[in-house]
Amino acid sequence: MDEPVFRVAVVGSTGYGGGELVRLLARHPGVRIEALGARGRDDEPIGQSHPHLAGTGYRVSDELPGELDAVFVSLPHGAASETVAELAKRLVVIDLGPDFRLRDPADYPRWYGFEHPRPDLLDHSVYGLPELHREELGRLGRHGIVASPGCYATATLLALAPLAGAGLIADVVVDAKSGVSGAGREARAQFLFGEVNESVRAYGVGGHRHVAEMEQELGRLAPAPLGPIDFLPHLIPMTRGILAACHVRPTRPTSQAELDDLYRAFFASERFVELAPEPPATKHVLGSNFARVHVHADDRTGRVLVLSAIDNLVKGAAGQAVQAFNVVFGLPEESGLEQLPLSP
């Protein structure tokens, strides 16, 4: 291997997102893990919080070392702004939380309930969806903020970006289904096995926070203003995976052939987006960084249906963060992300 090796750390390594970052980075040939941060747990074996990673031999610690090229931050929203801002002065921060995803400071009180402490930085961070922002990522340099997208936003944006770019979205209903790992690892009664198993329910009725990202990014692509997105997420009895069903009323009649051409062209050189000839199952991307997208022109209703499946913890979180990191540091985009999906 002649690839350079960059020194990285993970802040917030004991949650699900953090564990997934360790799983991927530990096998990344261009990376050396220098530290795994975990508040208040100094020098504890990683196996205490992540038994599946015990074999890696890593230990978590309360502090970050001085010499790093990049830090992955996986903390709850609001908790990271200050830390990220400080770190970003001297190294690349890939923030898996929402604190730097939105460009308009007014969106923070509206969607997240807090005033952003550093609105000046919002314009300087890059929304870390490589399929939409590869060039900006490549230009970031050796310090700055990558705001890694939310899981629902990732699935939805990959489904709708070609249509938005072509000015084909008159109106869209996004009905998404997620495994429960998206809710994190905090002990809450509603996420107990006994409550989740053999059940499905919608939540976030009236406005899930990821809508803000979707509207921002699709709006950026669309030639004319888009109306509000009707987004409804569901919790289903599985651990990993998101399937987004996007029901689009097009601005003009279209055809399967036009859609196929549009999507093929849009994703032609994408390593991690697979156009699926059949409606995709989340199991077919499990544990991998792939997204599977299926587009269908429905002659009966005149609508366009786009289905998009990802693993919420990989392409929807840790994998995407690593992919963006690779772009920023000029590594092959698939470094550390070559695992094939695990099925059955």
Residue at 207: amino acid letter: G
- Measured in degrees and rounded to the nearest 5, phi and psi for residue 33 equal -75, 120
340 belongs to the binding site for a copy of itself (CB under 8 A): yes
43 belongs to the binding site for a copy of itself (CB under 8 A): no
Query: Considering beta carbons, is residue 81 or 254 the nearer one to a copy of itself?
Result: 254
26 belongs to the binding site for a copy of itself (CB under 8 A): yes
Query: Which of 31, 286, 321, 327 touches a copy of itself by CB under 8 A?
Result: 286
- Measured in degrees and rounded to the nearest 5, phi and psi for residue 32 equal -125, 120
**58-97 binders of a copy of itself (CB under 8 A):** none
Cis status of the peptide bond prior to 344, with omega within 30 of 0: yes
Interaction pattern, residues 296-325, with a copy of itself; x per rule: CB under 8 A? x-xxxx-x-x-x-x----------------
Query: Which of 101, 133, 177, 208 touches a copy of itself by CB under 8 A?
Result: 177
Residue 36 neighbours by CB under 8 Å, 6+ apart: 9, 10, 13, 18, 22, 46, 58, 59, 60, 61
Minimum CB separation of residue 265 from a copy of itself in Å reads 19
Binding window for a copy of itself (CB under 8 A); candidates: 4-12, 135-143, 285-293, 320-328? 285-293
Query: Considering beta carbons, is residue 141 or 194 the nearer one to a copy of itself?
Result: 194
Minimum CB separation of residue 32 from a copy of itself in Å reads 16
CA–CA separation, 120 and 47 (whole Å): 39
Alpha-carbon distances of 65 from 8, 21, 43, 143, 292, rounded to whole Å: 10, 18, 13, 16, 38
**Are the beta carbons of 36 and 44 closer than 8 angstroms?**
no
**198-217 binders of a copy of itself (CB under 8 A):** 198-203, 205-207
| Active-site annotation holds for 246 | no
DSSP lists the bridge partners of residue 244 as 176, 308
Which residue among 38, 151, 153, 286 is the active-site one?
Answer: 151
As a dihedral over the C-alpha atoms of residue 257, residue 214, residue 118, residue 36, rounded to 10 degrees, the angle is -80
Query: Considering beta carbons, is residue 5 or 54 the nearer one to a copy of itself?
Result: 54
Minimum CB separation of residue 49 from a copy of itself in Å reads 10
**Residues known to be catalytic:** 151
